[in-house]
C-alpha cells in the first residue's frame, strides 16, 4: 500500500494558492482514478482507491502546513508503512513553473510542511516537487506562495495536474523514473511526425533565343548612335 500526501492549507481561502498545489495534485488523482469520497481520518481528509492494481490512500492534512507531519506520521504508523511507501506532493520554489522532479530525502529548503514531516516521520520519504517559480526575493516568498495562481498559470497548471494524475500509477508501482518520463511526455503532447518533404520541381532555365526583329532594331540604334557621334565630332572642330 502507498500513502500519497498532498501538502497545503485547509479552507476555501487557500484552495487556489500556490502553496496548495499538493492538495490540487491529490484531488486530481482522486478524480481521475475514481477514489472514494473524502472523509475525516488521521487529522486530515482521506480517500481510498487503487491505481494499476496498487492500493493507495490519499491524505490531505487539516493541521495547516506547519503541522502536516502530525497527520502524516499518525497515518504512516497506523498503516505500518515504511518511508519508501510515503509519497508527498508539494510546491517547490526552486523549480520553474510547471517543472516536476522527484527526490528522496535531502534538505527541506525552508519548506515548513516538509520540515514538519521530517520531524514526525523521518526524512527519507519520496517528494514530488512541483515547480511554482520564485518571486525573486526572500521577503516576497510568503505573500507569493499564499496567493492564488495567476490566470496565465492555468495554461501549464491544468495540463500538469492531469499529467501527474495520469502517471501516478508509476508512483504506486514504485517507479519514479517512469513517472517523470510519462509526465514529460504528456506535457510535450503528441509528438508531431515530420511533414513529408516536398519534392522540389526544378525547371530548366530557358536559354534566351535571338529574335530577328530585335536584332534589326539593335543594329539600327547602333548605326544612329554612330552617326550622331560623328556629327557632334564635326561640329566641335574650330
* Span 149-167, pLDDT tens digits: 999 999 999 999 999 999 9
Grid coordinates representing 69 are: 507531519
Q: Say what the pLDDT of residue 205 is.
A: 41
Q: Is residue 20 predicted with pLDDT exceeding 50?
A: yes
Q: How many residues does the chain have?
A: 238
Where does residue 138 rank: exposed (0-12), middle (13-18), buried (19+ CB within 10 A)? exposed
Range name among 24-33, 65-74, 134-143, 190-199 with the lowest pLDDT average? 190-199
Sheet order of strands, 39-41 included: 39-41, 44-51, 54-61, 2-6, 86-92, 126-131, 100-104
Q: Say what the pLDDT of residue 238 is.
A: 40
Half-sphere exposure of 130 (CA within 13 A, CB side): 29
Antiparallel, parallel or unpaired: β 39-41 and 44-51:
antiparallel
| DSSP structure string for 98-144 | T-EEEEES---TT-HHHHHHHHHH-S--EEEEEE----SSGGGHHHH
Q: Say what the pLDDT of residue 38 is.
A: 97
Q: Which positions are catalytic?
A: 19
Confidence of residue 43 (pLDDT cuts 50, 70, 90): very high
Q: How far lies 190's CA from each of 91, 100, 176, 225, in Å?
A: 27, 19, 22, 72
**What is the rounded radius of gyration, in angstroms, for the C-alpha atoms of the chain?**
35
- Structural domains of the chain sorted by starting position, each given as residue range(s) with its CATH number in brackets: 2-188 (3.40.50.1470)
* Span 185-199, pLDDT tens digits: 998 865 433 333 333
81-85 contacts at long range (C-beta below 8 A, 24 or more positions apart): 81/1, 81/2, 81/3, 83/121, 83/122, 83/123, 83/124, 83/125, 84/124, 84/125, 84/126, 84/174, 85/1, 85/2, 85/3
Q: Work out whether the CA dihedral 128, 77, 52, 155 comes out positive or negative.
A: negative
For 83-99, what is the mean pLDDT?
Answer: 95
**Who wins on pLDDT, 40 or 236?**
40
β partners of residue 39 = 46
pTM score of the predicted model: 0.78
Amino acid at each position: 500500500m502507498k500513502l500519497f500526501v498532498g501538502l497545503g492549507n485547509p479552507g476555501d481561502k487557500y484552495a487556489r494558492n500556490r502553496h496548495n498545489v499538493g492538495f490540487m495534485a491529490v484531488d486530481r488523482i482522486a478524480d481521475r482514478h475514481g477514489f472514494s469520497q473524502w472523509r475525516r481520518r488521521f487529522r486530515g481528509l482521506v480517500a481510498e482507491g487503487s491505481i494499476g492494481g496498487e492500493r493507495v490512500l490519499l491524505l490531505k492534512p487539516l493541521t495547516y502546513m506547519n503541522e502536516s507531519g502530525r497527520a502524516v506520521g499518525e497515518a504512516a504508523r497506523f498503516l505500518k508503512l515504511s518511508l519508501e511507501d510515503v509519497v508527498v506532493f508539494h510546491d517547490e520554489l526552486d523549480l520553474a513553473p510547471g517543472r516536476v522532479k522527484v527526490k528522496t530525502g535531502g534538505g527541506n529548503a525552508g519548506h515548513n510542511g516538509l520540515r514538519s514531516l521530517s520531524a514526525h516521520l523521518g526524512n527519507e520519504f519520496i517528494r514530488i516537487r512541483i515547480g511554482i517559480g520564485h518571486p525573486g526575493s526572500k521577503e516576497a516568498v510568503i505573500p507569493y506562495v499564499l496567493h492564488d495562481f495567476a490566470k496565465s498559470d492555468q495554461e501549464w497548471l491544468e495540463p500538469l495536474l492531469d499529467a501527474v494524475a495520469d502517471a501516478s500509477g508509476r508512483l504506486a508501482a514504485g517507479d519514479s523514473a517512469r513517472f517523470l518520463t510519462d509526465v514529460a511526455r504528456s506535457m510535450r503532447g503528441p509528438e508531431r511526425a515530420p511533414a513529408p518533404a516536398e519534392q522540389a520541381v526544378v525547371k530548366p532555365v530557358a536559354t534566351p533565343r535571338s529574335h530577328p526583329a530585335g536584332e534589326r532594331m539593335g543594329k539600327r540604334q547602333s548605326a544612329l548612335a554612330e552617326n550622331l557621334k560623328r556629327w557632334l565630332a564635326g561640329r566641335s572642330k574650330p
